Amino acid sequence: MNPPIDHSAIARRRAFTLIEVLTVVALIGVIATMVMPVAQTVRSKALRAKTRAQLSQWAIAMEMFNAEYGSYPKIDGSYVGGRSGADGLVNGEKFSVALSGRKLDGDDTALRNANPSSRGQLTVGNTKLITFYSPAQGEINIEDNPPSLMDYFGNKEIGVLYDKNGDGIINRNDVTTLQPVSARVGGKYTPDTTADINLTLGVHAPVIFYSPGIGEPSGQAIEASEAVFSWK
């Protein structure tokens, strides 16, 4: 006759000791420490690719505007119908009105009802209110009042340069000052006129955009390798 089975003894043998549990927790911590930087790098690269595509699409929309109206809309600087901004930095409201025919909040009532004398200025030249590009949900910060335009890193400061004399090249004849752009998480990117945007040789494009990219939480200056450009 077989002796009775001691179930409590079996349970004790199957249970983990405190040392075993702590060892597993420590191993998980080590693995997480190794995986997190890799995951962050992959995410950053994906956002860079997405932002570059975003800026390239903006440039294409500007080309479409030019094909329709014979000139490029001046989407930087101050705007009579919204917030002001510096020359060389994208004004989100001007961008939206010029390229989508609507404000960033989606309203086009004031634009459609504007007097003929002020219509051109209010619509940034898009008098027909044609949609060349519609900012996606991830490109608009609706928490701001009024809403603001941003890249996929969440940056609201984005640089824009034009070929002002129509020779197909953006160089010193078109640009007086390269505006620095601040990143959402900290730090500022200031283009170098020789290495980053060579204004001597020129950039062979009619319109270009640049973003500070992921930024520097420490607040240090952002390197060109971290910035995002529409043309390269």
- Determine the Cα–Cα distance for residues 51 and 53; give it in Å rounded to an integer: 5
Quote the pLDDT of residue 208.
Answer: 96
More confident residue, 225 or 21: 225
Quote the pLDDT of residue 95.
Answer: 97
Quote the pLDDT of residue 1.
Answer: 55
Across the chain, how many H-helices and E-strands are there? 5, 7
Q: With bands split at pLDDT 50, 70 and 90, how would you rate the model's confidence at 26? A: confident
Quote the pLDDT of residue 3.
Answer: 59
Cβ neighbours, 10 Å, residue 2: 4
Average pLDDT over the chain, rounded to whole? 88
Quote the pLDDT of residue 37.
Answer: 56
Quote the pLDDT of residue 77.
Answer: 92
Strands, sheet with 228-229, edge to edge from the N-terminal-most edge strand: 159-162, 207-211, 228-229
Is residue 123 within 8 Å of residue 129, measured between CB atoms? yes
User: What is the tens place of the pLDDT at every residue in 8-19?
Assistant: 555 555 666 777
- The residue extents of the domains of the chain are 7-229
Quote the pLDDT of residue 118.
Answer: 86
Is residue 213 within 8 Å of residue 189, measured between CB atoms? yes
User: What is the tens place of the pLDDT at every residue in 70-83?
Assistant: 999 999 999 988 88
User: What is the tens place of the pLDDT at every residue in 95-149?
Assistant: 999 999 999 999 999 999 999 888 899 999 999 999 999 999 899 999 998 899 9
Instruction: Name the least confident of 24-28, 91-95, 130-134.
Output: 24-28
Quote the pLDDT of residue 12.
Answer: 54
- Examine the pLDDT at 38 and tell me if it is beyond 60: no
